[in-house]
Amino acid sequence: MKKLIAILLMVFAWGVTQAQDQPANKTGISNRDMQERVQKNVNAGIEAAKTAETQKAIDVLNETQEVISLLAQKKKDEAQKKLAEVIGKLEVLLAQNPDLALIPVSATTEVHDVVADPKTVDVIMKAVREAIDKGYYQVAKRTLNDLSSEIVVKTAYLPMATYPDAMKMAAGLLGKGKDREAAAVLAQALGTLVVREDVIPLPVLRAEEYVKQALLVLDNNKKFKENKEVLLALVNAADYQLTLAEKMGYGKKDKEYKDLHDLIRGLKAHIEKEHEKSTRKSMNKLSGKLKAFKERLFTKTDKK
């Protein structure tokens, strides 16, 4: 078992060294620049997920907290007035959209990124399989948990199926003079936000960014031949990241990986032959496929 652990640790250390030689270094995009691009991409997705009701829902949550604060200050009349306003806003939201179930109100991101290359991942997976065959399940589990390259987006939603009822219950308790019980109901309601996790593979996001940059090179430079090497480097980097994503199990054995690699192979041939129109057409097609692939690879888990 100690030998297996040592092998796995050695492989990870080797991966850090090898990953520094990946094709991305030839693209002119630094690691920091790529991190910023990816985060901007994710932030844009978070903003796009917001709805017309998001700000109203945020106001409802803030005002619920305000009611609790007023009750703590023994300002019951003000608390009742503010709670009535909250209930009114919720009723308007439901009247405008009776089927409204969840409203996104906030999102946070967590990055889990092991530095490795496809060959390193192959060696790690071989060692993991050996650990499993010998019954060292916890070693294999810990290793697999560490073998991730992803951004986890945690989005909190206001549950319209239960939140309005909780507000009305609190109002009823206040009317009966049960201020402490009302405050408890409000506090509990604030803790019942529904949280959904979206897991987005970083290699796929990076591949998308390399293709975006390649499109910019095509758009901003009229001299196609002079940018041939840069375009090839960017496309190769995208191909490399997709291979890494596949090796790490994001969409493992997915037919779309083959389609993407085939498209990239054809794209590189167009660049090599200096066919500008064909290059642009294939690049746009690759960009669209990558965007759709990224969205389909999101892993969604609803939980309270």
Whole-number pLDDT of residue 84 = 97
- pLDDT of 137 higher than 80: yes
Lowest-confidence region among 73-77, 129-133, 222-226: 222-226
What pTM does this model have? Answer: 0.81
Reduce the DSSP state of residue 251 to 3 states and report it: coil
Q: How confident is the model at residue 194 (pLDDT cuts 50, 70, 90)?
A: very high
User: Can you list the alpha helix ranges (DSSP code H) found in 153-275?
Assistant: 163-175, 179-190, 202-220, 228-247, 255-272
Rounded to an integer, the average pLDDT of 46-61 is 92
Residue written as tokens 């945020």? Answer: 58
CA gap 198, 304 in Å, rounded: 15
Tens of pLDDT, residues 223-272: 788 889 999 999 999 999 999 999 888 876 667 888 999 999 999 999 99
- Residue 117 has what DSSP assignment? -
In the numeric block, which tokens belong to residue 28? 């002119």
Q: In the predicted model, what is the mean pLDDT of the chain?
A: 87
Domains annotated for the chain, with CATH where assigned, are 54-113+149-199 (1.20.120)
Tens of pLDDT, residues 119-131: 888 888 888 888 8
Rounded to an integer, the average pLDDT of 194-206 is 92
What's the Cα-to-Cα distance from 42 to each of 27, 55, 108, 161, 240, rounded to whole Å? 22, 20, 11, 29, 21
- pLDDT of 9 higher than 60: no
Who has greater pLDDT, 67 or 291? Answer: 67
Residue written as tokens 């083959």? Answer: 258
